[in-house]
Amino acid sequence: MRIIAGKHRGRVLAEFRGQDIRPTADRVKESLFQILSERLYGARVLDLFCGSGALGLEALSRGAGFVVFNDLSAESLAVCKKNLAALKETGEVYRLDFRVLLRSVAGKFDLIFSDPPYREQFTEEVLEIVAERNLLRPGGRVISESEREERAPAGWTIADFRSYGRTKITMFERQI
């Protein structure tokens, strides 16, 4: 796993391996960040199930202004912190259930990455709390990575959808 582009291009990231770990493949990450490229500069980003921090770190490398990293796994957060230190980057790092974090985090975000552990389906719950707390700035997106096609619940629209074999990326925006 590596940083694809930006100021840390080519840097290899430390990884945590386990049965429930499903890091975003480099080809998927590259395509995703090409789609998001115009939204990244100065963006406030939430990496909700951060694992090693790869998505948030890619965002920082490409010009995001600030990233909040969260994961429930102490082992994953140790790797995330190691990667932050290796790249000399900073961000807020939390070890909370995603529900607790979404209900307590301050401020609004331009991008929220929701890439939960293998086979977990939290998209509707994430979108519900994000809408309830009004956590997205105007035009902000929640980017969900899963193994199935997602549907937009009431109040949301699918702004973009991509399929990369078993990996499905769905980008949600609030309906106005």
Comparing CA positions, the residue from 111, 110, 88 lying closest to residue 7 is: 88
User: 6-38 pLDDT, tens per residue?
Assistant: 999 989 888 866 545 566 777 888 899 999 999
pTM metric for this prediction: 0.94
In whole angstroms, how far apart are CA 136 and each of 41, 87, 103, 107, 130? Answer: 16, 27, 13, 9, 7
Pick the CATH number of 26-174 from 3.30.870.10, 3.40.50.2300, 3.40.50.1820, 3.40.50.150: 3.40.50.150
User: 110-163 pLDDT, tens per residue?
Assistant: 999 998 876 778 999 999 999 999 999 999 999 999 888 889 999 999 999 999
What the block records as the tokens of 51 is 């694992």
Question: What pLDDT is attached to residue 113?
Answer: 97
